[in-house]
A and B are shown apart, each in its own frame.
Chain A
Amino acid sequence: MATVAEKGVEQLDAATVRFCGDSGDGMQLAGTQFTQTSALAGNDVATFPDFPAEIRAPRGTKAGVSGFQIHFSSHEIFTPGDAVDALVAMNPAALATNLVDLRPGGILVCNSSAFDKKGLEQAGYETNPLEDGSLEGQYKLHSVDMTKVTRDAVEGLGLSVKEADRCRNFFAMGLVFWLYDRSLDPTLRFIEDKFAKRPDVVQANTAALKAGFNYGETVEAIHTQYHVPKAKLEPGTYRNIMGNTALAWGLMAAAKASEKRLYLGAYPITPASDILHELCKHKNYDVMTFQAEDEIAAMTATIGAAFAGAMAVTASSGPGIALKGEGMGLAVIMELPMIVINVQRGGPSTGLPTKTEQSDLLQAVFGRNGECPMPIIAASSPGDCFDTAQEAWRLAVKHMTPVFLLTDGYIANGSEPWQVPKFSDLPKIPITHPGPLNEGEEFNAYQRDEWLARPWALPGTPTLEHRLGGLEKQDVTGNVSYDPTNHQHMIDTRAQKVAMIAEDIPEQAVDGATEGDLLVLSWGGPYGACATAVHTAQKAGKSVSHAHLRYINPFPKNLGDLLGSFKRVLIPELNCGQLSVLIRDRYMIDTVGLNKVQGKPFTVGEIVEKINELVA
């Protein structure tokens, strides 16, 4: 029997692991634990959970395959990785749907117990790929009867067969933890914590996890362990964070920084629901959450809360945002501050509810009746959601306008290490409400300041009684007005107010030279893939730079000049070219689109390939 000493440890710069199995197999948990452990070990990490729209598709079918990919590295990374180095497949359907992403020569761990006649049939295999030689020589295949080894490991703990089998994911995790030289401690702590009420389950999961680890250590067929050293991140305290959590915390931070109650009006929809779930846990932070009867009510309740003086927020996804459109128009004409969050997913209609897309951009820009401008900002990564939320609120209150905040399913569910900020270091968001008037003074609800913002007068303040409404307002007084020239003036003023925000936001930064052959212009979730691809091209000596937009309406004021300084502009987007439409319209320059609508994020390779096609 091989001993530990005989097994070699190979140093790696980075690796990508994917767990996949039936949606009941606990793959998301395995992925999250592996991520957490890698982050705690000091790696930079990026993750990509991928789950089916059906909560429980028939067991063992391709429709029910759930996956979780983790990229971990000893240097800074921005994506969950293109090719998979190690794939854990808990059943034939998972193997059939995920094998394409495993790189040649990669590690393949399969749960052979699921490769029975029925399982193979459901996945469309005529012969058993673990035995018919089709995988041989191509991958480092480890076929393990996980059912048997897990049952053996938990024997004597008094678990039912079903309960015992449920520990299989911990066995698989243990084995992968061994492969990548990971400590079991964080997961052991997690098990203790999570199953505190069931000591037998704690014991069983612990036993399964250790069995997996020991399996790697003792089984002769596995010769090598891999080690990915710590990444050199900026000094500080870190935690791993998911986009939706970061967004919720960013909202809470903004509320505190502006001394406001946070009010969320929401109606459940994937992938935005977790914002509601997160915020309703924190009522002791003076957070009020309202699960409305529909998105229209969520939106309009948000308007009521904004009028009341709260930091009002609503969060949804495509179909829900469509319902909110009328309410947003009201918010725009009322010139009340609030945040409308769209965690985009695949459309049209219900589309691909659990998959990512960026195709609601034009809806955000144009999807309301009338001339109805709203500032739009977009988050670029899970951690960036925290900052974007605060920035959205800063703009909303300073300029007295609803602000659109775009993220997407990929950012919302993905995770990355996040440098934990100190609240006292975060920017304050000052808000002033007018107080009671002196005798003889008159309150004008649409009197404007230098930013064209009107006063945010709160009900309850004597002498400021006023009426807002959806009918056109006379400038200054706020009275209803059908005067044609006033309407023109108000349309122009609301547009100008939003356009002026360009003076209040940073100029567009560039990664690379400020002129050259190609500028990759991106927004939202593709940030990481574009950054990595551009770095690759730059290393290869190409004249390529990268500009990533946070502000989409208005655009940063130097954007036009910047775009003009490059021979070509490439815009990769997970839609059919929506940012391209805006850029071409605004700056009259031809852009090259790289467009993908498959419910999947860009790989770095796809962008590198396009860059290579455009620049020698």
Chain B
Amino acid sequence: MSVETPLPVLKPADFASDQEVRWCPGCGDYSILAQMKKVMPTLGVPREKVVFISGIGCSSRFPYYMNTYGMHTIHGRAPAVATGLKTSRPDLQVWVITGDGDGLSIGGNHLMHCIRRNMDLNIVLFNNRIYGLTKGQYSPTSPLGKRTKSTPMGAIDNPLHPLSIAIGCEATFVARSIDTNVKHLEQTLKRAAGHKGTAFVEVYQNCNVFNDGAWSYAKDRDTKAETTLELEHGKPLIFGKDRDKGVRLNGLEPEVVELGKGITEDDLLFHDEKSAEPSLAYLLSRMRHEDGFPEPIGVFRSVDKPRYDELINDQITQATSERGPGDLDKLFNAGETWTVE
């Protein structure tokens, strides 16, 4: 009879590495790190089976601070490194940590392909709408007109919206959270970890040194109820301090409406994260504060699709069962050979 040795119960502190954390005091990254450490022991995955892979940027220092396996790689390439790792070792739980510059600028191509392959990876993009590590140039998510060190007259590039990109790449799990909304962030990371397939999470993260307050509308106690909207599967899109506002569809366009005065909850858009059709999720990802919409947080989309890491390994299994395990001597001698006496 075998005796089951119970897994040691780990605490968040067990996931802290011995490295000194070197982000600026007050940086939103601390909170994300703290929530990650909190989530980790709840996932039932032994520490040695977890790998964090990052690119370059302040956010990408993350793996050094986790007492798991990790790789701090090169700018933008973490999704590709993770691809090689996860396909070779589907037994590992792999997290990709990236920033808005890292993931969407230099790594845009890899991010796009990684997402469409739907490998079982969790990608967390820390969006501070600025380049932190290189000291304050605008990033692909900086708003038009943003004045930075490299755009003294204002940015003239149209910004990208990370979740729109992810949904456009057929992401099977897409979510958004906010560094200071710790409960929500913890839950979001947990759900991402539970998703089988690529989970893409955008986190609004404050860079208090180069872009302080970029998300204040979504964080401030006074405004957040009006500027954000917490998504819940099967529930109508309601927001506002008094939960008196909602979003409904007018043709193909969303519009903000006030409840009452003849408009009921039933008139509103109901959130369906399981919808096979990604259009509504895309529409939600397009709702911007500056256009007068609340910005949704929570899970936009969570659907099941075949996964690259499984398929690539299945092909090896299938080939082996159909043809038998490879025999090099047979291969070398296949086809036309001749013998010299």
Partner of B84, one of A265, A423, A460, A480: A265
> Is B82 interfacial (CB-CB < 8 Å)?
yes
B71 lies within 8 A of A307 (CB)? yes
Main secondary structure of the interface of A (DSSP, over half): mixed
A595 CA to B188 CA, complexed, in Å: 63
Q: Is the CB of B331 within 8 A of A249?
A: yes
Interface assignment of B252: CB less than 8 Å from any CB of chain A: no
Cβ A42 vs Cβ B340 within 8 A: yes
Inter-chain contact A468/B81, CB cutoff 8 Å: no
B329 at the binding interface (Cβ < 8 Å): yes
> Counting CB contacts under 8 A, is A588 at the interface?
no
Please state if A300 and B73 are interface contacts (CB–CB under 8 Å): yes
Tell me the complex Cα distance, A471–B320, Å: 41
CA distance A480 to B69 in the complex (A): 15
- Give Cα A459 to B333, complex, Å: 38
**Interface flag for A305 (CB, 8 Å):** yes
Separation of A309 and B19 alpha carbons in the complex (Å): 25
Q: Let me know if A288 and B49 touch, CB within 8 A.
A: no
How far does the alpha carbon of A308 sit from the alpha carbon of B322 in the complex, in Å?
27
The answer to whether B53 has its CB under 8 Å from any CB of chain A is yes
Q: Please name the residue on chain B nearest to A314 by beta carbon.
A: B84
Q: Are A465 and B48 closer than 8 Å at their CB atoms?
A: yes
List B contacts of A308 (CB < 8 A).
Answer: 84-85, 88-89, 92
The answer to whether A238 and B340 have CB atoms under 8 Å apart is yes
Q: Return the contact of B337 from the options A239, A252, A286, A462 (Cβ within 8 A).
A: A239
Cβ-defined contact, A468 with B71, below 8 A: yes
Contact B337 A288 (CB under 8 A): no
| Complex contact B326–A465 (CB within 8 A) | no
Pairwise interchain contact A469-B113, C-beta atoms closer than 8 A: no
Task: Pick from B56, B71, B110: contact of A467, CB below 8 A.
Answer: B71
Question: What chain B residues lie within 8 Å of A334 (beta carbons)?
Answer: 71
Q: Are B336 and A303 in touch, CB under 8 angstroms?
A: no
Q: Are B72 and A471 neighbours in the complex by a CB distance under 8 Å?
A: yes
A465 touches B320 (CB 8 A): no
Looking at the assembled complex, report how far the CB atom of A281 sits from the nearest CB atom of chain B, in whole angstroms.
Answer: 9
**How many whole Å from A559's CB to the nearest CB in chain B?**
33
Interfacial chain B residues near A306, Cβ < 8 Å: 84
| B17 at the binding interface (Cβ < 8 Å) | yes
Contact bitstring B314-341, A, C-beta under 8 A = 1, else 0: 0110111011111011011101111111
- Answer yes or no: B240 CB below 8 A from chain A CBs: no
Bound together, the chains give a CA A334 to CA B63 distance in angstroms of 15
Q: Does B291 contact A (CB under 8 A)?
A: no
A466 (CB) vs chain B CBs: closest residue = B69
Q: Which residue of B lies closest to A286 (CB)?
A: B316
Whether B69 contacts A463 by the Cβ 8 Å rule is no
- Of chain B, the residue at the smallest CB distance from A421 is B332
B109 within 8 A of A: yes
Closest B-chain residue to A186, C-beta based?
B336
Contacts of B73 in A (CB 8 A): 300, 303, 330, 469-470
Q: Contact mask A238-249 → B, CB, 8 Å, 1/0?
A: 111000000001
Q: Is B68 positioned at the interface, with any CB of A under 8 Å from its CB?
A: yes
Complex contact A302–B49 (CB within 8 A)? no
Known contacts A39-B338, A294-B109, A460-B91; is-contact A284 B326 (Cβ 8 Å): yes
Bitwise, A252-282 to B at CB < 8 A (1) or not (0) is 1100100001010100000000000000001
**Contact, CB under 8 Å: A465 / B69:** yes
- A-facing mask of B77-114, CB < 8 A → 1, else 0? 10011111111110110000000000000000110110
By a CB distance below 8 angstroms, the chain A residues around B332 are 239, 249, 420-421, 423
Bound complex: CA of A312 vs CA of B72, how far in Å?
Answer: 19
Give Cα A297–Cα B92 distance, bound, in whole angstroms: 20
Residues on A with beta carbons closer than 8 Å to the beta carbon of B335: 239
Q: With A42-B340, A283-B319, A308-B89 given, is the CB distance from A460 to B48 under 8 Å? A: yes
A99-107, A228-236, A568-576: which lies at the B interface? A228-236
Is residue B254 within 8 Å, beta carbon to beta carbon, of the partner chain? no
Given A293-B113, A304-B83; A284-B48 close (CB under 8 Å): no
Give the most central of A42, A284, A300, A421: most B CB within 10 Å: A300
Chain A 458-498 per-residue mask, 1 if CB under 8 angstroms from chain B, else 0: 01111111111111000000011000000000000000000
Please tell me if the beta carbons of B312 and A459 are within 8 angstroms of each other in the complex: no
| Residues 56-93 of chain A, each 1 if its beta carbon lies under 8 Å from chain B, else 0 | 00000000000000000000000000000000000000
B47 in the interface, Cβ–Cβ < 8 Å? yes
* Chain A residues within 8 Å of B110, by CB: 293, 296-297, 300
Verify A304–B80 contact, CB threshold 8 A.
yes
- B81 adjacent to A480 (CB under 8 Å): no
Scan B44-74; emit 1 where CB is below 8 A from any A CB, else 0.
Answer: 0011110111001000000110111111111
Residue of A nearest to B113 (CB): A293
- CB neighbours of A461 from chain B (8 A): 48
- Contact across chains for A460 and B49 when beta carbons are under 8 A apart: yes
User: Do B87 and A290 touch (CB < 8 A)?
Assistant: yes
List chain A residues, Cβ under 8 A from B49: 459-460
Looking at the complex, which one of A237, A309, A470 makes contact with B338 (CB distance below 8 Å)? A237
Instruction: Looking at the assembled complex, report how far the CB atom of B108 sits from the nearest CB atom of chain A, in whole angstroms.
Output: 11
Nearest-neighbor residue (CB-CB) of A477 within chain B: B18
Question: CA of A305 to CA of B89 in the docked complex: distance in angstroms?
Answer: 8
Given A261-B88, A285-B326, A301-B80, A238–B337 Cβ distance below 8 Å? yes
User: Which of B25-57 touch A at CB < 8 Å?
Assistant: 46-49, 51-53, 56
CB distance from A10 to the nearest CB of B (A): 24
CB distance from A293 to the nearest CB of B (A): 4
Q: A253, A287, A460 — which one has the most chain B CB atoms within 10 A of its CB? A: A460
Interface presence of A47 (CB below 8 A): no
Chain A 132-158 near chain B by CB (<8 Å), digits 1 or 0: 000000000000000000000000000
- B74-A286 in contact (CB<8A): no
CA distance A422 to B328 in the complex (A): 8
**How far is A326 from B55 in the complex, measured between Cα atoms in Å?**
12
* Cβ B340 vs Cβ A300 within 8 A: no
Smallest CB–CB gap between B189 and chain A, Å? Answer: 20
- B116 and chain A: residue at smallest CB distance: A293
| Nearest CB in chain B: distance from A468 CB, A | 5
User: Among the interface residues A286, A287, A298, A329, which one has the most CB atoms of the partner chain B within 10 A?
Assistant: A286
Inter-chain contacts of A303 with B (CB < 8 A): 71, 73, 81, 84
**Chain B contacts of A422 at CB under 8 A?**
329
B84 with A301: CB separation less than 8 A? yes
| CA A125 to CA B216, docked complex, whole Å | 78
A510 contacts the other chain (Cβ, under 8 Å)? no
A413 within 8 Å of B by Cβ? no
Q: What per-residue 1/0 map shows which CB atoms of B213-255 lie under 8 Å from chain A?
A: 0000000000000000000000000000000000000000000
Contacts of B86 in A (CB 8 A): 304
In the complex, how many angstroms separate the beta carbon of B50 from the nearest chain A beta carbon?
A: 8
Chain B residue numbers with a CB within 8 Å of A286 are: 316, 320, 325-326
Chain A residue with Cβ nearest B69? A459
Given A307-B51, A467-B66; 11 other pairs, CB 8 A cutoff: A265-B84, A283-B316, A284-B316, A293-B80, A297-B80, A304-B85, A307-B81, A307-B84, A459-B48, A467-B52, A469-B70
Q: List 25 A-B contacts (CB under 8 A).
A: A42-B338, A236-B339, A237-B337, A237-B339, A239-B336, A239-B338, A249-B328, A284-B323, A285-B325, A288-B88, A293-B113, A296-B110, A298-B80, A304-B84, A304-B85, A305-B85, A309-B88, A312-B84, A330-B73, A423-B332, A459-B92, A467-B66, A469-B64, A469-B73, A479-B19
